[in-house]
Amino acid sequence: MLYCLLFVLLSLFQPQNCFSQTEEWDNYEKRDASTFVKDGLAAGGETLLYNGVIFLFNGFVTRTKWAFATPESIKSNLTSPWEWEEIDGFFVNQLGHPYQGQYYFSAGRVNNLNFYESAFFSALGSLTWEVLGESKHAGMNDFVTTVTGSMAMGEILFRLYIEACNAGVPAPLAFFINPAAGFHRLVSGRKPPKTGSNIYQFEAYLGAGYSGVNYTARGIRNELYSFNGFSGNIGTSIIYGDPFDQETKIPYRHFEFAAFFGFNPSNYKEIRVNSDGYLLSFSPVYSAKNRMSTGLTMHLDFVSMGKSGIVDSTIDQYSNAFDWTIKYKHLFTENTALQLKNHTGFTFFGVSNYYSPSGVTHPYSPEKTIYEVKNYGYGINVKNYLIFDIGKTGKIEVSDFHYLMWTYPGLTSLLKGFVYWHFTDIAYSQFITKKISMGVKWLFAGENGTFSGYPDTKKKSNSVRMNISYHI
């Protein structure tokens, strides 16, 4: 929710509405060895500093039971195989760890290191945290999620921070978009580079709607969870860089990012994050009527929908993927256009929550039993978008996502099986002023799972929502 409000602030301080993406600041000059080492040491120092801050916060503010590493835990983490955890909270592991990792990644970016070089500091920060930052046994899944997830999240927040500063957002407010970049600016005195306007499209919205959610398992008579009721929601959608005219090898010169949060106090929450960014791209078609880009993209997708809580939920989905992407736009007239976007590729690290009828004892609260266990896998994904903009008549938007994930063998107790997710959104909106629109949206979400030795599960959600949006 905080990020949505900050993105609204970004739009309010936008100095111009025209799109004028520049590339010069993204082209790093070659550095001599001494400069490279100096930048690397500075990034490493900031990375370890962030771990120290988090360590002190966990130990003295939240007073968590596992906050302080012991000589025994450090020795165990250095000499014993790391575990693939099954029971830690889905929200914390699959969204919290990429966010923590973006601090490490940003430490590299603000010290003049590029996208791929900065990934090293995500690994350094995660490695030192898993060994020294807590008394729990090190989790291999935490390390993988932190490193790979932080590359997408870190680069997006780094570029949005620079965009905010260039748009005139005061430094104390821009700090909350990317605290690592804000801290570096404070201590070094370096101002972000002048980059021009890179926001191609921005939308922030408020709304409310009605949702029906159902969670059942074969052989279990009672529903495991159900919800029918109203919820409020807030969200944002950002397109950075021209989607249809991109020919570059610079990662995330173009990305799309959408975040949504919905809540009802009677035990329902919904969090959805979808993102894609070009790692490399080219534009084989560019004419007055037709424009197209295509290339390799990285994706970070997260859904946690249903029961409120950091451990249990209903529809839980995480996907870190490499896809081949095509983005195409056809202009019928000056005010009428059709956009088609397709992502198809390989999910190299996916995560789900699955029902275990026997339950698992919570390691830090033995009186609690957890009936959701995580499993890690690989798979295929297809993400389609269709947008038909009819000018004053309105805009129709359809998105249809499919994910199929098989479990990596030997990592969790769920040895053989698969999970399938399906998300469809259909929306209609119309501008009521130059920058404000109103719209209605129907959303469907479904998850089906089958694992040997466990009951098949079926989870689904249908929602109808109305919202009011602000655009730039």
Please report, in tens digits, the pLDDT of each residue of the chain (472 residues total).
434 444 444 444 443 344 556 666 676 667 788 889 999 999 999 999 999 999 999 888 888 888 888 899 999 999 999 988 877 788 889 999 999 999 999 999 999 999 999 999 999 999 999 999 988 889 999 999 999 999 999 999 999 999 999 999 999 999 999 999 999 999 999 888 888 889 999 999 999 999 999 999 888 877 888 999 999 999 999 999 999 999 999 999 999 999 999 999 988 999 999 999 999 999 999 999 999 999 999 999 999 998 876 566 789 999 999 999 999 999 999 889 999 999 999 999 999 988 777 666 665 666 676 677 888 999 999 999 999 999 888 999 999 999 999 999 888 777 789 999 999 999 999 999 999 999 999 999 999 999 887 889 999 999 999 999 999 8
pTM of the model: 0.92
Q: What is the DSSP code (8-state) at residue 95?
A: I
Instruction: Give the separation between CA 466 and CA 209, rounded to whole angstroms.
Output: 6
R_g of the chain, CA atoms, integer Å: 22
CATH 2.40.128 fits 199-471, yes or no: yes
Report the phi/psi class of residue 398: left, alpha or beta, with left for phi > 0 and alpha for psi in -120 to 50: beta
Beta-carbon contacts of 451 under 8 Å, excluding residues fewer than 6 positions away, are 354, 375, 407, 414, 415, 416, 417, 418
Domains in the chain: boundaries: 22-188, 199-471
Instruction: Give the separation between CA 245 and CA 254, rounded to whole angstroms.
Output: 9
Which of 58, 64, 52 has the alpha carbon at shortest distance from 103?
A: 52
pLDDT of residue 62: 83
Beta-carbon contacts of 319 under 8 Å, excluding residues fewer than 6 positions away, are 299, 300, 301, 347, 349, 350, 379, 381, 403, 405
- 299 forms bridges with which residues in the sheet? 276, 321
